[in-house]
Structure 1
Amino acid sequence: MRTQEMALLTHDTLLLPEGRVEIRVIDPRYLSMIAESLKGHYPLVFGMSKVDCELPCYEAATQCEVIDFNQLDDNSLGIVIEGKQRVRVLSAAQRRNGTWISRVLPCNNWQHEPIYGEFELISAALEQFYQVNPELFGLYENDVHLEDASWVSQRWLEVLPLYNQDKLRLLNQPNCHKTMNFVLELIKSHARDNQHS
């Protein structure tokens, strides 16, 4: 696998392949970086922010594409980004204008696999989560894959309020199985707590 240079966008949220996130861009430097990316100068990579380190983000990041954008009331730009390919950020250099260019190595995405048995519970719970959070659900329109274990696991990792280290431990697994078990246990223990209260 060859390394590649990509423009680096850091944020406090996690984005994984086939996931979507909407962010506000106010800083003109980042607006021009996104414009450069849309013109094909650099691919775009999205990483979770990390402070006081050599790298401005965690090593585990996701190459992404801008799939939609709109001007917001305050003249900032709202962009919807979709994750495509997992990558590892090897190094990053800050350009004169303060934006970052990173050197990344592509990693394997988790393989798609059917969801079955008691794991269908995590799929049903995600569907409920989207009903309660329609603004998140709206990002996907009709592109929801509740039958796919990998898709469901990655959407849970994006929204669960976990420490970044815990998310990364699950992310660094070769497949979605550990994440599925983790989310299933969370749902079961939550159900048990509700029964006892």
Structure 2
Amino acid sequence: MNVPLFPLNSVILPQGRVPLQLFEPRYIDMLTRCLKEDRGFVVVLLQDGPETARNAAFYDIGTYVRIIDFQQLDNGLLGITVEGEVKVTVVRSWQQDDGLNVGDVECLIAEAECDVPECYQELPSVLRALFRHPAIKDLDMDVNYDDARHVGWRLTELLPLDKQEKQRLAELQDPLERLDRLQELLEVLEGES
């Protein structure tokens, strides 16, 4: 499928939500087309540089998202909230004359649903604590704290990890491998505080 690509400095995964502020004409046009055609776009993580860069280098594994809400913000910008649907790989990408990145993408195989094993029971507790933060609570996300995929996806999005690490976690297709890595990273974070 051929879709617009939206390079960001953050990761979103299936069933995750993120608020965005749009001000560049290329993205406002993209939003208008997506709403008119009832389709989404793909959020890809920037490898480096600012989100407003014209020639952005980005990773080729991202998430197809749909717009679930939009409103005019107090600062005059257009605010949207998107929700992740499925992880994709960008097979080919190019830039249109208006600067919008577009690409051909293929959906990745859905991760297998599985319960959070006993050895990772600290992870859902950490996630519950993060979900008490007002900014996260406002996103009104449904989370299944027993599903290893949901716990791993939300922790990948929300923990203060460097973006290369977030990308590595996002690219994993095994939810238990992701939980194992998150457990290691959490121990490092706890050791630093």
Q: What TM-score bracket applies, with the shorter chain setting the length?
A: 0.7 to 0.9
Mapping for residues 130-141 of structure 1, pairs under 5 Å: 130-131=131-132, 133-141=133-141
Runs (4+) off by over 6 Å: none
Structure 1 residue 116: Cα displacement: 3.4
Which whole-Å CA distance do the structure 2 matches of 1:192 and 1:39 have between them? 49
Report the counterpart of residue 67 of structure 2 in structure 1.
66
Check whether the contact 1:5–1:43 (CA below 8 A) recurs between aligned residues. no
Equivalent AA in structure 2 for residue 66 of structure 1: I
Sort the Cα spacing of 1:67 and 1:186 in 2 relative to 1 into closer, same or farther, 3 A. same
Structure 2 length as normaliser, TM-score?
Answer: 0.87
Equivalent AA in structure 1 for residue 105 of structure 2: V
Structure 1 length as normaliser, TM-score?
Answer: 0.85
Which whole-Å CA distance do the structure 1 matches of 2:99 and 2:38 have between them? 17
Equivalent AA in structure 2 for residue 92 of structure 1: S
Which whole-Å CA distance do the structure 2 matches of 1:7 and 1:189 have between them? 37
What does the per-residue CA deviation read over 1:150-192, in whole Å, with 9 as the maximum and x for residues that have no partner? Answer: 0010111112233333333333333111221122234445556
Check whether the contact 1:5–1:42 (CA below 8 A) recurs between aligned residues. no
Q: CA RMSD in A?
A: 2.2
Structure 1 residue 104: Cα displacement: 0.9
Check whether the contact 2:44–2:58 (CA below 8 A) recurs between aligned residues. yes
State, as a whole percentage, how many aligned pairs show the same letter: 27
Mapping for residues 1-197 of structure 1, pairs under 5 Å: 4-40=1-37, 43-51=40-48, 56-131=57-132, 133-141=133-141, 143-188=142-187
Check whether the contact 1:85–1:106 (CA below 8 A) recurs between aligned residues. yes
**Greater radius of gyration (CA):** 1
Secondary structure of 1:174's counterpart equals coil
Structure 1 residue 40: Cα displacement: 1.6
Which whole-Å CA distance do the structure 1 matches of 2:191 and 2:65 have between them? 38
Equivalent AA in structure 1 for residue 94 of structure 2: A
Where in structure 2 are there 5+ consecutive unaligned residues?
50-54
Sort the Cα spacing of 1:55 and 1:24 in 2 relative to 1 into closer, same or farther, 3 A. closer
Structure 1 residue 110: Cα displacement: 1.8
Sort the Cα spacing of 1:76 and 1:10 in 2 relative to 1 into closer, same or farther, 3 A. same
What does the per-residue CA deviation read over 1:18-58, in whole Å, with 9 as the maximum and x for residues that have no partner? Answer: 11100101112211111101112754111112348x87321
Sort the Cα spacing of 1:193 and 1:41 in 2 relative to 1 into closer, same or farther, 3 A. closer
Equivalent AA in structure 2 for residue 75 of structure 1: G
Residues paired across the two proteins, number: 188
Structure 1 residue 11: Cα displacement: 1.0
Structure 1 residue 193: Cα displacement: 6.9
